[in-house]
Structure 1
């Protein structure tokens, strides 16, 4: 969501605008035609304001700038560059390709990040159902006393009773822990740096994070440079579009290096813990040959494929782990119920 406007609505707007302008239609006519077919109420307000401003003679980029939460900085900067160069139609076509690629990349990344959380919720849900619903009824039906229970049955029984007696305290403790964790890792600089270090140094997740943010950075930078946006402004847009602190620091290092008369590569070399050597080499080649946009596109395409591979690796690692965890839970509960039945059978025999 961008300022209450779904991403798919914005993508439809970008695509329609790019096609219409590329076909030679006037901007005002394109905006009016799209507004007439639009059925998203939050975006309707935005469109009417943009149409009013453009109709009164204001630049399209100035009309968009009123809605920074709806239109991302990279889109606004390309529109402004297109107005100056007279190539807005071409730049918008390229932006649509860029935005579609980024949407697919983000979808893969979010899917990989959400998968462990979903599996954990399933494990917790199954555990609660078995220990709080099925197991207590089973124990009650057998009329078992604690002194007659096998060790594993006694352990599960005590765990079940503890959860049932203290579920409010457990829930409150969980909420407090979650809020504290979020605050420390997202709102404090030291906590965020420590959490980033843990994530980036983890065997599989760290590899995925590095590849994902490298891909986002180079794609955004390439898109801006090809649109004629000045280098420092393009880097600032990259910084604003990437929320990760480690990569924000990387981009700041590049900007400071360029301000001091250095190069992109000088800034990258300060962050070798998150930037692979091949990326530094490719940036060096791009600077030396003057073909930075082409090199960035190639890096981005390569890392798009690498992100897909890394996502599969994350899922491939988590699936067997979850099978082991779920198998352990089910096996423990099954033994806790079957062992008393075996003991009763022996006693009857």
Structure 2
């Protein structure tokens, strides 16, 4: 996904220019044609590092963006011009990377560009949803108010991300410790203990022989196992980059119990909060839906959201379009339907976002409450098998002696 700068002609023959986010130039042209624009010139915007795509610099996290946005909103509300506000932010900033980006943004603003256009030229720092909201604030003449709401939105998103990370951190640590413990027992403990029985004429139990075989495999062919693991990881990562495979894989994951429902809850919460932010800021619904689609992490949901956008473009109500996909939660659809019926879509979207975030927290608690005992029991089972593999020969020899 990248940004493209374009010049196009509308039906009245007027020349329009701007920036658009798309997978490639062909996709960008298709999006512009859907807006009844005839492309005259289109060019990909490269990051300042000269790289695009996977190897470009990572975007700033939500906490950093929220801090800068709230700072900008406060300076604008105090009566400073945009240029002076950016200059004050540059002067106060201590990180060289942020200072450099803010300096480039200020230079573009002083050269006549709008703030949103300047932000679009820094895709490694500012996501498309951020730029779209700023553009809507500029159009409405309420940049400081929109920036303040955007900061609140970013803080809420960052808080949700922290909850997800915190919920999954303990199971991940337990899994790593389990692998280290089992690996250490198989590689170091089992060979030393079992070597005592090498000179006995009794046949070792099947479980002991199995553990010895696994131990020898790990010690003697560790390089081959590592090579297979790295090759497998590389192969899966290449398949994961294929859109068709990714969509099928994500569909399967969504169908999994607990894990699939948790992922669906996370993405729908992200979609609801983002759509609420965009609609409240005054972004047109079709543009907002396209922006929301790009924020979803599940490719199958991205396909569904693209179809929702197509249905809305044809005149279908948003709630009806979401219901057609049969994947989005019924409560979310009902709230949006109520918002459309009462003319309070933005308010209902915000309520839906809060509801979905509560659902995410509930799903995460359920997931962790299941994962933790499963991992502990699994580790205990492996340790028990290893202990039995060591103790069984000792018990047999003790019986022979007596």
Tell whether the structures are fold-level matches, with TM greater than 0.5: yes
Contact 1:4 1:42 in 2 (8 A): no
User: What is the aligned partner in structure 1 of residue 177 from structure 2?
Assistant: 122
1:310 aligns with 2:310: no
User: What is the aligned partner in structure 1 of residue 346 from structure 2?
Assistant: 293
Question: Where in structure 2 are the equivalents of 1:60-139 lying within 5 Å?
Answer: 60-112=115-167, 116-139=171-194
How far apart are 1:306 and its partner, in Å? Answer: 0.9
Structure ranking higher in helix proportion: 1
Contact 1:64 1:71 in 2 (8 A): yes
Contact 2:75 2:85 in 1 (8 A): yes
Q: 1:160 to 1:145 in 2, by over 3 A?
A: farther
How far apart are 1:55 and its partner, in Å? Answer: 2.8
How far apart are 1:112 and its partner, in Å? Answer: 4.6
Question: Which range moved further: 105-114 or 253-262?
Answer: 105-114
Question: Which range moved further: 324-333 or 233-242?
Answer: 233-242
The superposition leaves residues 269-288 of structure 1 with CA deviations (integer Å, 9 ceiling, x where unpaired) of: 2211x212222222211111
Structure ranking higher in strand proportion: 2
Contact 2:332 2:352 in 1 (8 A): yes
In the superposition, the TM-score normalised over structure 1's length comes to 0.92
User: What is the aligned partner in structure 2 of residue 283 from structure 1?
Assistant: 336
Whose relative contact order is higher, 1 or 2, with alpha carbons under 8 Å and at least 6 apart? 1
Q: Aligned partners of 1:134 and 1:298: how far apart in 2?
A: 57
Structure 2: which 5+ runs fail to align? Answer: 1-55
User: What is the aligned partner in structure 2 of residue 326 from structure 1?
Assistant: 379
Number of aligned residues? 347
Contact 1:146 1:154 in 2 (8 A): no
Q: CA RMSD in A?
A: 2.2
User: What is the aligned partner in structure 2 of residue 336 from structure 1?
Assistant: 389
Contact 1:221 1:238 in 2 (8 A): yes
| Selected match of 2:286 from 228, 232, 242 | 232
The superposition leaves residues 113-156 of structure 1 with CA deviations (integer Å, 9 ceiling, x where unpaired) of: 56655443332222211100111122224545584423322221
User: What is the aligned partner in structure 2 of residue 211 from structure 1?
Assistant: 265
User: What is the aligned partner in structure 1 of residue 7 from structure 2?
Assistant: none
The superposition leaves residues 155-198 of structure 1 with CA deviations (integer Å, 9 ceiling, x where unpaired) of: 211111122222222122222222222332x2233422321122
